[in-house]
């Protein structure tokens, strides 16, 4: 399920290369970018309606060829319109729009520069964030861990928006499609916005499940073995309808 990691050092230099974001850009929007922006805005709004973020916390991006469309910084998702489209190239230089991209742009670009992902969803989901403060890896409470590539790791804390956080995140994402960010939230990627979102929602659900089970006095949750999670992951590769 997880896309291949190609270069763990991909986070280096992202902060410097993104210094031009927010400058006015005149390139016209291509039809495929307009369609992708519409889907991105719908996904961002869903993170709010499903309780995964509060206010303008969290962010969403989608890659269209060599352009990364991303939610702008500090703008409520219900106010985003077609003319608010915000895009950067893989070096972080703004190529579409005038709104300043999310402060977490280094993390998004690090994912695109080191994986085959086409979409990224970052949230501050409450249960996942709580778990990130307690453990270094989400205990294998459910076989859906296999859908994310295996045990979900927690990336060590670093200040938001920094290259250090992006670097920590990449290590936690090695051979995985999602991770937790310590005292911060979740990060998930996928080949589409719908899959990146579904992985985010599954991660939050598993964190909620573990917190619930582990809170029962006098009882300890039964956990799955690494081989059981791996076996489930293999079976999940063929899950669903075939086109």
- The catalytic residues are 104
Tokens representing residue 27 in the block: 């390139």
| DSSP-derived pairing of the beta strands 154-155 and 94-96 | unpaired
Sheet with 59-64: list strands edge to edge.
94-96, 87-89, 67-70, 59-64, 119-123, 185-190, 178-181, 154-155
Residue 120, strand partner residues:
61, 189
Name the packing angle between helices 105-114 and 163-173 (round to 10°).
Answer: 40
For the chain, the residue count is 243
Tokens representing residue 76 in the block: 């409520």
C-alpha separations of 156 from 95, 113, 172, 211 in Å: 32, 21, 9, 20
Q: How many CB atoms lie within 10 A of CB 221?
A: 14
Contact 96, 36 (CB under 8 A): no
């Amino acid at each position: 399920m997880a896309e291949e990691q190609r270069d763990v050092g991909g986070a280096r230099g992202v902060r410097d290369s993104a210094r031009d974001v927010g400058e006015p850009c005149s390139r016209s929007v291509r039809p495929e970018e307009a369609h992708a922006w519409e889907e991105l805005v719908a996904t961002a709004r869903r993170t709010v309606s499903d309780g995964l973020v509060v206010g303008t916390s969290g962010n969403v991006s989608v890659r269209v060829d060599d352009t990364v469309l991303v939610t702008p910084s500090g703008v409520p998702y219900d106010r985003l319109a077609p003319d608010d489209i915000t895009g950067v190239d893989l070096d972080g230089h703004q190529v579409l729009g005038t709104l300043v991209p999310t402060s977490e742009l280094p993390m998004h670009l690090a994912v695109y520069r080191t994986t085959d992902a086409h979409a990224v969803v970052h949230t501050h989901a409450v249960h996942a964030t709580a778990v990130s403060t307690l453990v270094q890896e989400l205990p294998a409470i459910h076989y859906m861990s296999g859908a994310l590539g295996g045990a979900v790791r927690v990336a060590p804390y670093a200040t938001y928006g920094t290259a250090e956080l992006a670097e920590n995140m990449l290590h936690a994402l090695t051979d995985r499609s999602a991770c937790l960010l310590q005292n911060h939230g979740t990060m998930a990627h996928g080949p589409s916005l719908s899959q990146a979102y579904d992985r985010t929602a599954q991660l939050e659900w598993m964190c909620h499940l573990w917190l619930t089970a582990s809170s029962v006095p006098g009882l300890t949750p039964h956990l799955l073995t690494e081989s059981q999670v791996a076996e489930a992951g293999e079976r999940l590769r063929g899950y669903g309808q075939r086109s």
